[in-house]
Structure 1
Amino acid sequence: MKRGNYTEVRDFVFQGFSNFHEHQLTLFVVFLTVYVLTLTGNAIIVNLIRIDHHLHTPMYFFLSVLSISETFYSLVIIPRMLASLVGLSHSISLEGCGTQLFFFLGFAISNCLLLAVMGYDRYVAICNPLRYSIIMNFRVCIMLATSVFVAGFSLSLVQAIAIFRLPFCDSLIEHFFCDVRPVLDLACHMPIINDILTLFISLLAITVPATFIFITYVLIISAILKIASAEGRKKTFATCASHLTVVIIHYGCASIAYFKPKSENTKDQDQLISVTYTHNSPIESCGVQPEK
């Protein structure tokens, strides 16, 4: 089907892990095992928080929301990737690709913003403990969680519409899912507005929350250092350690993936980074322990 001087592409094909053709069955077993462990870990976290009344606090409310979000986030990508590894499906329709990118990006941005909210929660708990239960009441927590997803999927919708309004001249996606840059690389031409929009959304989703988290941790560490006893400082920082670990992994991978100059792009490197932040969800590294 032609549109102007372009042949309109209606289906895409994932190149996936074709460079490792002889090892695809091994990759399938490894990725499936890790995926099952990821789903199991997230399910355990959510149910443990639901059952244990000691964990009915804002900190663990946000942790359970993040676990659920990470589960849906991986569901958007991993099942289709596993299917392609065993030769069941290497293609996706234009509409299917747009839908996958919308939901992937929506959950990804929401998770970044949610980590910032969790940082704010730790800041209030440590720097303003006497007013913590008032500031972070249940209504506020629900509003913050809702706002995170509304903002995340709004930005995702803008990005998806901007990308899939473009004509595509190639159908081979050099990736295992419909990510922003691999899909944009297939466009017949890309207006400068798309580059600006992609950079703007990346800044809003990664740089702004990361900067906010950095500032909150500067204030948190300053407050911790004022605690008289070493044991008190250790216990207080322990409530932040798991969140900080997730932040470093999540923002580190996302920054490399979306801020790396195009000239440095290689398919294998991008896929390795993507597997890290889409398959091996860092949420399981969060220790679920009651607050003292």
Structure 2
Amino acid sequence: MVELFKSSCFIQIDVNRSKLAEFTILGFLGPPSLQYIFFLLLLTTYLITLLSNSLIITITLRERRLHIPMYYYLRTLSFLEICYVSVTVPKILSTITPHGRSISFYGCMTQVLLFFSMLSTECLLFGIMAYDRYLAICKPLHYTRLMSTTMCHSLSLCTFIGGFLTTSPQIVLLFRLPFCGRNINHFFCDAPPLLQLCCGDTSLINLMDFFNASFVILTSLTMTLVSYVYIITTILKIPTTTGQRRTFSTCFSHLIVVSIYYSTITFMYVRPRLSSSFSLNRVVGVFYTVITPILNPLIYCLRNKEVKDAIKNQLLKQNSRQVLQKIGFFKTAYL
């Protein structure tokens, strides 16, 4: 009798799962005029994010003097930001139309996996970037040996692997849970609104999510804080103010980006649960997934003199090349 009851329960869960072939993302439910404004603002922000991060990747690849570990990690961060926004923003844009609000079950699970994997990867990458600045400032004589090209590739690969491994167990559990509803009250497939639709027990996945997120955030944050304690201690030992300012400027952009990043994470995860499931949660979600990635390249370009000089240098080269091509064209036409 017990076995029959268990089998009937599993059959009922399988029936629910088989009926739920897709979800519906509610998205922005305002009037059409506001939806179009939201669409244009989001599309403009998305394109700026793609262009600015692509510019950093191109400049750091083409400018030979930027072929150092610091800009290798910056290039990796820009690549990660492009992938990060491309996972969520196109689907957010499609929710403006009624037909674009549906997403398959497997597509939703894939989006959650990629989103949180890249989120964890970015968190770990910030810790590695802080460690790189620590070696460059506190261990300058051993920097080339300790942060070799092989080490850079290995550490970057570890961040991607670590981001995937710390995320996949929760997604596997989420994939196996039965769902009683299909309307996701968010702009994209995110774990909290999906868990609200689950019929089964979510205590295990919540516990794993807490421990894994705590591990990733605390590991990265500890590495960042310890590195900057040593960095600031070393900078204060420099006898001249000019030397202190020049040394600190090499890591100031990274410090600003990290501060914004962890402030956003704190606001997202270390705040009381609000009864409102629409207004504030969605606004914060859009800021976290769309606005933050556009700040990183802007801060690095505006605050970093080497990046600005490299952009000017590449523009001058491009203009000179165009002038030479025009001169060659006129000579050919004249002859």
TM-score normalized with structure 2 length: 0.82
2:300 aligned residue: 286
Residue 47 (1) aligns with residue 34 (2): no
CA distance in 2, matches of 1:264, 1:120: 40
Question: Secondary structure, in 3 states, of the residue corresponding to 2:306?
Answer: coil
Residue 88 of structure 1: CA displacement? 4.3
Amino acid at match of 1:283: N
1:202 aligned residue: 213
2:329 aligned residue: none
CA distance in 1, matches of 2:88, 2:283: 14
The structure carrying a bigger helix percent of its residues is: 2
Residue 123 (1) aligns with residue 134 (2): yes
Residue 202 of structure 1: CA displacement? 1.2
1:82 aligned residue: 93
Higher alpha-carbon deviation: 92-101 or 13-22: 13-22
1:144 to 1:127, Cα distance in 2 relative to 1, 3 A: same
CA distance in 2, matches of 1:145, 1:166: 33
1:246 aligned residue: 257
Question: What is the aligned-residue identity percentage?
Answer: 34
Residue 86 of structure 1: CA displacement? 3.8
Question: Secondary structure, in 3 states, of the residue corresponding to 1:187?
Answer: coil
Residue 260 of structure 1: CA displacement? 3.0
Residue 171 (1) aligns with residue 182 (2): yes
Within a 5 Å distance, the mapping from 1:153-192 to structure 2 comes to 153-192=164-203
Amino acid at match of 1:141: C
Amino acid at match of 2:240: S
Question: Secondary structure, in 3 states, of the residue corresponding to 1:7?
Answer: helix
Residue 5 of structure 1: CA displacement? 9.5
Point out the structure with max Rg over C-alpha: 2
Bigger relative contact order (CA 8 A; separation at least 6): 1
Within a 5 Å distance, the mapping from 1:26-65 to structure 2 comes to 26-65=37-76
CA distance in 2, matches of 1:265, 1:207: 29
1:73 aligned residue: 84
Residue 2 of structure 1: CA displacement? 6.5
1:7 aligned residue: 16
1:12 to 1:78, Cα distance in 2 relative to 1, 3 A: same
CA distance in 1, matches of 2:116, 2:77: 15
Asked if the contact 2:13/2:178 (under 8 Å) is kept, the reply is no
Residue 290 of structure 1: CA displacement? 3.1
Residue by residue over 1:163-196, the C-alpha shift from the partner in whole angstroms, topping out at 9 and shown as x without a partner, is 1111111111111111121111111133321111
Aligned pair partner of 2:237 in 226, 236, 244: 226
Residue 16 of structure 1: CA displacement? 1.2
1:77 to 1:133, Cα distance in 2 relative to 1, 3 A: same
Higher alpha-carbon deviation: 183-192 or 98-107: 183-192
Q: Which structure 1 segments of 5+ residues have no match?
A: none
1:64 to 1:263, Cα distance in 2 relative to 1, 3 A: same
Aligned pair partner of 2:161 in 139, 150, 154: 150
Aligned residues: 292
What RMSD over aligned residues (CA atoms) do the two structures have, in Å?
Answer: 2.1
